[in-house]
Structure 1
Amino acid sequence: MRRTTITALAGAALLLTGCGSQSGGDTGSGGEVSPSTSAHSSPGPSRGCSVHGQLTAADSGRTVCLSKGDEVRIVLDGTKARPWKPVTASGSALQAINAGFVLQPGDATAAYRAVAAGTVKLTSSRPLCAQPSSPGQVSCKGIQTWTITVRVS
């Protein structure tokens, strides 16, 4: 199977798991969400958490709210020329678990379970441009950073 097919299937399964646990309005309505294996992302400081099954590079800067026992999964699609560094967590509110995804060169995947109340920063980074393939080529020293704040209650 191709990487995009595997990622799409995994994402669909995670989203379907989260759909059955929501009460109230549509996704993003700020309704209460019961504890499940899905993460809840807050699009802004004044809004409640909404269902969000999987985090990607596009989610950088978001705040994710979890209850004890909830899980959050991260899939950062990179390339061999622009690889993501492994995701790191600062804090003790999350416990690393098996991500369950096949890694392609340059990808970074991770999964965590909320085990205690607190706040954790998840981070990764990668080069902004491909590294030169031979000496004398122009190189780029820029770094793309990825950060998520996780609040566990």
Structure 2
Amino acid sequence: MRRTTPLALTAAALLLAGCGSQEDTGSSGKASEPPSPTRSSAGCAAQAELKAADHGRTVCVTKGGEIRLTLDGTKARPWKPVTASGTALKAINTGFVLQPGDATAAYQAVAAGTVKLASSRPMCAQPTAPGQVSCEGIEEWTVTVRVS
């Protein structure tokens, strides 16, 4: 007979409670680090790389700079394609291979201004059989990009 330790029970309880969590760090389970920019003299980055954990941030890039982002999802909880509101960024080829559920995007900063990047995905996997519990929650992701 196998013994169950209090640590194992705690881990199982946290795993079961994870579907209602408000913050998701992507499928890797690691929070992303702040964008690792190359700073200009104006204090804005020449480039920035964004992840799911950057939700709610504001980043600044210089005109001519690049923003690249990867939101790690799953087949059961896929990210919608990233949208950009505003004209300061121009979509460019991401150069990444997409995995099912991921959303990737790349932009070049073409004009001064502010752009909001956004995506969303279900907070829980949808039921696959009758009688399973349904989850209607949506996880939002937004980042504000300032181009100067």
Same fold (TM over 0.5): yes
Change (3 A) 1:134 1:96: same
The aligned residue for residue 121 of structure 2 is 126
- Counterpart amino acid of 2:70? V
- Counterpart amino acid of 2:136? K
CA distance in 2, matches of 1:61, 1:141: 22
The aligned residue for residue 27 of structure 1 is none
Alignment match of 2:94 (pick from 84, 96, 99): 99
- Counterpart amino acid of 2:50? L
Deviation per CA, 1:7-32: give whole Å up to 9, x if none: xxxx9xx95xx5xx447xxxxxxx75
Give unmatched runs, 5+ long, in structure 1.
5-10, 24-30, 40-53
CA distance in 2, matches of 1:79, 1:22: 34
The aligned residue for residue 115 of structure 1 is 110
Give unmatched runs, 5+ long, in structure 2.
1-26
Change (3 A) 1:142 1:111: same
Aligned-pair CA distance for 1:99:
0.8
- Please, what TM-score do these two structures have when normalized by structure 2? 0.71
Structure 1 runs of 4+ with >2 Å offset: 31-36
Alignment match of 1:62 (pick from 45, 57, 81): 57
Paired residue total: 117
**Contact 1:35–1:69, Cα closer than 8 Å, also in 2:** no
The root-mean-square deviation of aligned C-alpha atoms, in Å, is: 2.4
